[in-house]
Structure 1
C-alpha cells in the first residue's frame, strides 16, 4: 500500500508545493496504520475500541489522499486549459524549432544581401534564440507536470479502491460489534411504553427533552463523573461547521445548535464519558442520539443513519454512537474530481449534515462552552 501511495510524492514539484507532498506522506502513514489496526482488531479484547481506531484511521488517511488528488485534478485542469489557450502559439513555436532543427548549416550562414546581411541576420538570430529556448523549456515543464499528474492518478487508483473497500468493511464490522456490545455499565433501563408515549405527545425538541426523565424504568447503577463545560471537547465527527447557533439556513430556519457537514458514512463518537439517554427517530430530526455528560445537560446529535447502543448505557469518551448516511463515493468519482458537495476551498464530498445541540434545564446552551470549534474537524 505504501509503495503505491508514494507516487503522490510527485506532488513535491514546485508547481504543487511541499505541503502537498507532506500530506501525501501522512496519507500513506494513516492508511498503513488503518490496515494494521484492522489486523489487530480481529483478536482485540476490546474489539469495538480497536474497530473505532481503524475507522478513524481510514477516514483520516482517505481524507488526506482525496485532498492530494483534488489538488492534482485542479492543477491538471489548469495546465490543460493553458495549453488549449496557447495552442496556436505553441504550434508556431514548434514550427520554428522544427525549421531551425532541420535547416542545413551552410544555408544559415548566407544572406542574399551579402556579408553585412549575414551578420545582421546572425545578430537577430542570436537575440531570438534565447527567447525560443525559454519558451520551449516552459512548454517542456508544463508537459512534464501533466505527465506527473497522470502518473499520480494512475498510481493511486488501486490503493484508493483498496482503502475505500477496507473502510467500508471496518464500518460494517464496527456496527455489528456495537450491536452485540454487552460489557458496558448501565445506569438504568428504558421504559419503551413511556418513551413511545413521550414521542407521540411531543411536538418540539424542548418538550421531548423536558419529559425524558419519565422514560426511566429503574436505576441500576451510579452515574459517571460529570463533565465540566471547559470549551475543549472535540467535535463528535470529522467535518466542517456550516452554520453556528442563530444562523439561518437556506429555508430561513434558525436553530440554536451547530450544523456540521460530513462525508458519507462518517463515524460519530461521544466526545466525553456520558450516559446514553435516547437513540432513535425523533420529529423531523431524523435519527437522534441524546447523551448526558452531566446531570441535567444533554448533547443532541441528529441526522445519523445508524445509531448504536441502548438507553442507560454509560459510554466512555471516544466510543462510537453511530454512522452518518449517504453513499461513499467510488474511486472513479474521487479520481475524476467529480465529488458532490465541493466548495471553492475544497471539502468535496461533504454531502451529509450532523446537527449538534447542547441543552440544560434552562434550554439551549452555546456549544462553544463545551466544544473547541476553531480549527477542528476539517477534512
Structure 2
C-alpha cells in the first residue's frame, strides 16, 4: 500500500515533458516565494498586533485613571447635592417661620409706623402736660426695646435668607460644572473603550485571512513537491555514492583533526580545574575579606544552637575575594543572607560566601584563588547575624565549607587557623 503514492508520482513524472517539468518547477518556485511572502506578512501583522496589544495596555491605564476621575466627580456631585439639600431645608425653615409670623410681623411694622408718626412728647415741648409726657415716655420705653429686638431678629432672618439664596445659587452653578465635566469624562471613557475593543478586530481579521491564504498555497505546493520528490530522490542517490567516496578520502584527515580537537578540549579543561585538590591545600588559604572574626565553627550562635561557619565583621564596601580555585555554581540573592556565592572547589567540596552587598562573579565562571568576587554592603544581612551581634552594625561575611553537602570545620584550611581575618 505504501508503494502506491510513489508509483503514482513516478507515473505522473514520466508523463511530463521537459517543458512541462520546467513549468512545474517554476510554478513550485513561485508558490514557495508566495509562501515566504505570506510568512513575512504574517510576521508583520503579528508585530502590528503586538504593538496594538501594548496600546491596549496603555488605554487600560488611561481608562483606570479616567474611572478614578469620574468617581471623584461623582463624589463632588453627591457632596454638592447634599449641601443644596441642607441649604434648601434651611431656607424652607426660614420661609415657614416667616409665614407663621406674618400677622405678628404686620403688627410690628404697624407699631413702628405709629411710633414714627406720633413720637412721645418731650417735656421741653409740653411742660404743662407733665403727666401725659411721663405716660408716653413710660409706654415708649416699654414697647420700643421689644419692637427693636423683634425687628433685629427679623432683619437677621432676612439676611440669613439672602445669604442662603446666594450660596444655593453658587452651589447649583458648581453642581452644573461638575455634571458637565462628568458627562465629558464619560464620553471620553466611551470613546476609549470603543477604541480598545476595535483595535484588534481589523488586525485579527487580516491575520486570519492571511493564514487561510497560506494554507491554500501550502496545499498546492505539497502536491507539486510530491511530484518532484521522486526525481530528487534519484538525484540524491547518485550524489550519495560520490559523497561516500569523498568522505572515505577525507575520513583520515577528519579523524586526525578530531583527535587534535579532543586533546585541545582536554587541555582546556585542565586549565579550568583547581591546580591542587582542595583536601591538599590545608593551612594555605587567605580569608576572603579583611575584618574581625566574630564567631568560628561550632560556637554558640546566641539562638540556642551552634554555628556552622565563620562570621567575619568587615568595613562597609569591603573587597571580597575567592579564597581558592573553583567554579561558580550560584551567584545571587538568597533569602535573608544578602548576596550568596557558592564555589565548587572539586572533590565534593563547596565554599559558601554569604552577606555580600554586590557580587561581580557570574554563575558558571571559573575563578582562581584571590580573584575579586564582589564587595560587602553597608550593614549586615539578617541571616549573617548571631544572637549576641544583633546591635553590632557592621557588615558580616559568613563563610561556610561543605563536604558532600554537609557543613565542616574550615579552620584547617586557613593560614594561622582562627587568627584575625587580615589577609
Structure 2 length-normalised TM: 0.31
- Bigger helix share: 2
Structure 1 length-normalised TM: 0.34
Greater gyration radius: 2
